[in-house]
């Protein structure tokens, strides 16, 4: 009886270790940004982080992509939630800030660049790979390069095309079809980051 109990206990311990190993191998990605990341007025399944996760899994990658977008957020304000939004153990962060600073606050480009630089530097210090959306012609590619991150041009043309934006939305947030394109365009950059992790 006792040997049976010991065998069951050993089997349980092995199963836990296997689960832990599987979780350790899983690539954890966080999409960190504004409503352009969150998917305002849409379900989370329709925003680009969920679509990106499905596309990566369809290509055989064991990933989880968390949506840490926040409506109306600014890079400076996001610093207070950075550690909670992008927790320890995150491998890749997709960072998207700048649009609200320009459209809603009218902040100077130098201020926006400084705030984004601080965010990216904090993540890189933790060893997180960063993909940075270069948004609204802010010239954030140089910030990415200076921090050993990768920049990606946000496809802002989508916000000017009625096929890809929500109707009657003065801020022209993307609809589900627009996020299909965002996910597809960023997919190669994310796959390259995953390959870098595995080297």
With beta carbons less than 8 A apart as the criterion, state whether 111 and 73 touch. Answer: no
Q: Which residue has the higher pLDDT, 154 or 71?
A: 71
Distance from C-alpha of 166 to C-alpha of 176, rounded to nearest angstrom = 9
Whole-structure pTM value: 0.87
Its domain, for residue 52, covers 26-198
Render pLDDT for 6-20 as a digit per residue (tens, 0 to 9).
454 444 444 444 444
Distance from C-alpha of 124 to C-alpha of 130, rounded to nearest angstrom = 7
Q: Could you give the percent of the chain with pLDDT greater than 70?
A: 87
Is residue 98, in this structure, part of any structural domain at all? yes
Count how many Cα atoms sit within 13 Å of the Cα of residue 184 in the half-sphere of its side chain: 6
Is the pLDDT at 160 greater than 70? The verdict is yes
**What average pLDDT does the segment 63-90 reach?**
97
Total of domains in the chain:
1
34: domain CATH number is 3.40.50.1110
- What's the alpha-carbon Rg for the chain, to the nearest Å? 19
The reported pLDDT for the residue numbered 17 is 44
The reported pLDDT for the residue numbered 18 is 45
Distance from C-alpha of 100 to C-alpha of 119, rounded to nearest angstrom = 16
Is residue 9, in this structure, part of any structural domain at all? no
Render pLDDT for 100-153 as a digit per residue (tens, 0 to 9).
999 899 999 999 999 999 999 999 999 999 999 998 679 999 999 999 999 999
**What average pLDDT does the segment 73-94 reach?**
97
Distance from C-alpha of 65 to C-alpha of 50, rounded to nearest angstrom = 7
Q: What are phi and psi of 188, to 5 degrees?
A: -60, -40
The reported pLDDT for the residue numbered 2 is 57
Q: Which residue has the higher pLDDT, 25 or 182?
A: 182
Which residue, 159, 150, 161, 155, is CA-closest to 182? 155
Distance from C-alpha of 104 to C-alpha of 67, rounded to nearest angstrom = 22
Is residue 114, in this structure, part of any structural domain at all? yes
Is residue 72, in this structure, part of any structural domain at all? yes
Is residue 16, in this structure, part of any structural domain at all? no
């Amino acid at each position: 009886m006792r040997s049976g109990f010991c065998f069951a206990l050993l089997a349980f311990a092995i199963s836990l270790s296997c689960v832990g190993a599987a979780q350790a191998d899983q690539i954890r990605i966080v999409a960190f940004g504004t409503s352009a990341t969150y998917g305002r007025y849409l379900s989370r399944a329709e925003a680009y982080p969920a679509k990106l996760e499905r596309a990566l899994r369809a290509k055989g990658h064991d990933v989880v992509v968390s949506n840490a977008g926040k409506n109306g957020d600014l890079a400076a304000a996001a610093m207070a939630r950075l550690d909670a939004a992008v927790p320890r153990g995150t491998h890749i962060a997709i960072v998207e800030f700048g649009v609200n600073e320009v459209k809603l606050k009218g902040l100077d480009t130098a201020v926006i660049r400084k705030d984004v630089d601080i965010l990216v530097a904090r993540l890189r210090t933790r060893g997180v790979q960063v993909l940075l959306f270069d948004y609204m012609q802010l010239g954030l590619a140089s910030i990415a390069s200076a921090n050993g991150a990768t920049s990606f041009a946000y496809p802002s043309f989508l916000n000017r095309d009625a096929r890809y934006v929500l109707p009657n939305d003065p801020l022209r947030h993307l609809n589900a079809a627009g996020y299909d394109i965002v996910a597809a365009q960023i997919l190669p950059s994310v796959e390259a980051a995953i390959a870098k992790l595995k080297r």
